[in-house]
Amino acid sequence: MNVFEQYNQRQGAMNLKHIFNFAPLSPIQQEHLTRVYGALMTNIILTAVGVYVQQRILALPIFLLLGVQVFCVWGLGASSTEAVYSGKVTTPLRAAYFGGFGFTTGMMLGDYLYFVNVLNPRIIPTAFLVSMGIFASLSAAAIVAKDRKFIFLGSILGTGLTLFTYVSLFSVVWRTKLADDVLLWGGLLLYIGFVLFDTQVTLEMARRGSSDYLVQAIQFYVDLVGIFIRVVQILTDKERRKRQRDEE
């Protein structure tokens, strides 16, 4: 499942007559969000474990980790419909798919975070707290909003995702500072928008009876990791510029 397929799935959860829904959260929505955020925190812990394993125990090549990630996402998505209808969302296999994605993400970030930690050990914990603060604030804003206005971000985010992909491909062929800045700051804004969007889509899906909180937690997880990586990069660039000024 690529990013465009994920976007299409999110779009499918929309229904225009529920965009202006002023009703408070129902008990079902509250319970569903609790499960989604609980699963998200589990994957955050598994990501930290993956980083440790990659740095200290067993370093695996990126292409292998990427293959495992694709398999985990495919397995989780392919089993979603059956899991919802059967009521067995958290089977051992689906839990392995879910946790495997978080664990391998941590392993993929392991080498990069190692060098960042060498540069300045305070960058990673600072970036984590900032990212969690951004995520929590935006998600809370989307939850307490009196209507589903953030669902309107869907078309804008879809366009931004397309442009972001084009810039990424352009940057591979011809790397420029402008392209790097677009990928950094544009990517940060894109993931911030997806936090708002995904939160309200999750609420709407819960209202419609979709109980697959693992798939929705993966969407939140991707948003959070996207924000975290860019905050790390921003703080790293700031630290490098500071050191260059000190050397001069």
Per-residue pLDDT 10s for the chain (248 aa) are 444 444 445 444 444 444 444 356 788 888 999 999 999 999 999 999 999 999 999 999 999 999 999 999 999 999 988 888 888 888 999 999 999 999 999 999 999 999 999 999 999 999 999 999 999 999 988 888 766 667 777 778 888 888 878 888 887 777 778 888 888 998 899 999 999 989 988 888 888 877 889 999 999 999 999 999 999 999 999 999 888 887 76
Considering the domain boundaries, does residue 213 fall inside one?
yes
Q: What pLDDT is stored for residue 96 in this prediction?
A: 96
Q: What pLDDT is stored for residue 1 in this prediction?
A: 45
* Domain that includes residue 127, residue range: 3-238
Considering the domain boundaries, does residue 188 fall inside one?
yes
Q: What pLDDT is stored for residue 163 in this prediction?
A: 83
Q: What pLDDT is stored for residue 82 in this prediction?
A: 86
How much is the pTM? 0.85
Considering the domain boundaries, does residue 248 fall inside one?
no
CA torsion, ordered 226, 228, 234, 240, to nearest 10 deg: -120
Considering the domain boundaries, does residue 245 fall inside one?
no
Considering the domain boundaries, does residue 246 fall inside one?
no
Considering the domain boundaries, does residue 243 fall inside one?
no
Q: What pLDDT is stored for residue 85 in this prediction?
A: 82
Considering the domain boundaries, does residue 247 fall inside one?
no
> Number of structural domains, the chain?
1
DSSP 60: -
Q: What pLDDT is stored for residue 4 in this prediction?
A: 42
Q: What pLDDT is stored for residue 22 in this prediction?
A: 39
Contact 196, 150 (CB under 8 A): yes
Instruction: Report how far residue 87's alpha carbon sits from residue 53's, in angstroms, rounded to the nearest whole number.
Output: 34
